[in-house]
Every structure is written in C-alpha cells, then in structure tokens.
Amino acid sequence: MENKALSHFNKDVLANLSLPSRVTIYDSTLRDGEQMSRVSFRKTEKLEIAEMLAKIGVPQIEAGFPAVSEVERQAVKEIAKLGLKSDILALSRTCRADIDAALDCDVDMVMLFTATSELHLKYKYMMTREEQLAKVIDAFDYAKAHGLKFSFSTEDSTRTDIAYLQEIFRLAVDAGAMRIGIADTTGCIMPSALGVLVKKLSSSFDLPFSVHLHNDFGLGLANALVSMENGATAVATTINGIGERAGNVSTEQLAITLETLYEIDTGIDISRINEVCKKVSQYSGVPIAPNQPWTGENAFRHESGIHVAAILSNPLTYECVQPEIIGRQREFILGKHSGRVAIMNKLGSMDIGLMEHELEKVVTMVKDKAQDGTLIDDDTLLAIVKTARGK
C-alpha cells in the first residue's frame, strides 16, 4: 500500500539527512521488558513471544540475562534451540561467570555490558576506572578465548564523560566486538544532546552502533530517531514499550515510524505487529492504553462529526497512516460530537432509510443521549430511530 504519511516538511528534511538504509531493531521484551515491575513471563509464553517476533521479521531478539537464574538460563537456551530466523542475543555482565552462563545457552551473540558513569563506579561497583578497565579486558579475553561473538555496551553512558567512553569502546573494538553501543539507563538525555553524543561516538569507530533508551521523560522514541539520524544503526525496543520504570522505546512505534515516516527498511511486517502487541499485553498483564499510538482501541476511532464527514470523503484528512497498513480497521463511533453525515452513514450501513424530519430528530436524540458519555451502539440507535418514527 502506498505510504501517504509523509508531510512535505518531512520530505524536505529527509532529503538532507544521512540515514542508514536499514536499522536493526533488537527486541528486548523478554529481557528489559520482563524487568518491569510485576511482569513475569512463563517459559512457554517466552517461547511463544520469541516465535511471534521472529515470524513478523524482528531481526534480533534479546532473549534474556542467563546469569539471573537457572530458570532464565533454561528459557534463553530453549529459545536459542528453536532455530528461529531472528538472531538470538543474551545479556551478560563483563565477568567470567556471566559469560559462562551465556555460553551455555549457545546464542548468536552475547551482549556484554558494564556501567561507566562515576556515579555507578563509585556507588554501585565501588571501583576505580583502572580496575574497571582491567575487568573489561579480562572479559574480552575470556570471550575471545571461547570464540564468542559479542557486542559491548555501556550502562549510564549519558552521564559518563565521552573520553572515557571512547577509551573503553576502543578496547572492545580492538578485542573484536561485533557492535558497540550506549544505554541511556535513566532516560535522562535530551534528544539534541543525544544526537551530539551518538555522532561523536559512532563516527569514532567503524562498527555498527546501538542505543538502548528509557522512557522516563517520554523521550524514548524521539531519542531513538535522533540517534539514528546521527549514526546509530541498531535500537533496543520492547513490545508495548514495557520495561524498567516508564519502560523502553516501543517496538511497534519505532518500526511503524521508520517504515512510514522515514521509509527505512526494518525487515518487520508492520501489518502483523498488532497481534504481537496484544499477546504481550495478555501475557505481561500490562494493558494497552486506549490512546496508545497505533495499537490503542482509539487509534483509528473517529467520533467528531467534522472528522467523520471528511474521512468519508478522503481518509487522509484525519489519518496519516491508513489502519490497513498496520493490520487494523477504522471505526466510526456515534457520540455527542457526531453530525448528520456520520449518523446517515451509520444508518446506511444498517440499511435504514429515514425521512428528512426523522433524521433531524435522530441527530438531536443521539447528541442528547450521548451527553453523559454514553456510546450510541446499534441497539441504542435502533431504539432512537423507533422513537423518531413515532413507533
């Protein structure tokens, strides 16, 4: 289906951006998503979610953090054994015990990470930079000695000084990391500042560059986009944006934005992503808000009489992405903002024809009845029609 989402302002700006031809979305629903308070997937649910993600073409799945527990390790192991077409990744701290647990799972890539900010070094690790560098070098040597494919990222990177990030990434690059990246662990960086940071770091090394972002300020998606405009080629996401605290960048929002606004290939079939969102909502117990972009029940619902009349003439008037593109359907709702055209359209779909004076009455009665927020469903409308006809 033709993409009609682009405004001419977007087109003008896109023409001057240097964007990657492909962005790798690595979905962390099963790892950071499950770190959300009260979320705990059963192993069977994890396997099913991984299969669904692979089926819709998510290129990489961060399946878990094997060192967390034996149960976690078994789940990652079984996901890796499924033979899915997505690459399966596992998270690991930069220590031998974690690497051993990840090795045991036989995943496609192990994601080594360590926290680099002074705050984390002093209060979490109680370690100096020199001690940290020695630890990281040992982990890289151990990974290499075991023929491990690994990436390396730094936690709390957005509160770390850039020279230290460059120093530690140099070690990872020299040790043969497949990808390097940063995490905005507390979701505290502004888009414009992140753009500067990503540009400096990604242009310092000839390696794919990833970002893992949190949504504490609601800036996750904006930060993902600005990262990509400045050299990032991989973004961590979670279905429905679930994750620690306010969560992560949502897989569906990023995929739909890249495919429609940026016209960048993600490999993901966005027409089937809604099914995965519903399943993850069911298994995580985290409901999808009615106004959630693209997947919320209101995302393609229209009530205002002005909107409905215009959409009936051309849907683009009030929709930039057509619901069919993401496997959904448009809905017209009758309520207190409804107008003649919307009501006539609804009556037409129910094969009900009215005289002009009857229609006038129905319009007034629909608006009156809906004043307190009551939704006018088919039965209510039929009752109103009967009254208007004097029956």
Cβ-based neighbours of 334, under 8 Å, separated by 6 or more? 303, 342, 343, 346, 366, 370, 375, 376, 381
Contacts with ligand HCA, residue ranges (CB under 6 A): 32, 35, 111, 113, 153, 155, 183, 185, 212, 214, 236
Q: Which of residues 32 and 303 has its CB atom nearest to ligand HCA in the complex?
A: 32
Give min distance, CB of 183 to ligand HCA, in A: 4
Give min distance, CB of 212 to ligand HCA, in A: 4
Q: Which of residues 157 and 274 has its CB atom nearest to ligand HCA in the complex?
A: 157
Rounded CA separation 128/124 (Å) = 11
Q: Which of residues 181 and 305 has its CB atom nearest to ligand HCA in the complex?
A: 181
Give min distance, CB of 30 to ligand HCA, in A: 13
Q: Which of residues 228 and 236 has its CB atom nearest to ligand HCA in the complex?
A: 236
Give min distance, CB of 248 to ligand HCA, in A: 8
Rounded CA separation 68/105 (Å) = 13
- Which DSSP string corresponds to 16-80? T----SB-EEEE-TTTTGGGSTT----HHHHHHHHHHHHHTT-SEEEEE-GGG-HHHHHHHHHHH
Q: Which of residues 89 and 288 has its CB atom nearest to ligand HCA in the complex?
A: 89
User: What six digits make up the tokens of 334?
Assistant: 């009758």
Residues 29 and 53 sit within 8 Å (Cβ to Cβ): yes
Give min distance, CB of 181 to ligand HCA, in A: 7
**Strand, coil or helix: what is 236?**
strand
Give min distance, CB of 151 to ligand HCA, in A: 8
CA trace torsion 277, 280, 281, 286 (10° rounding): -130
Q: Which of residues 188 and 341 has its CB atom nearest to ligand HCA in the complex?
A: 188
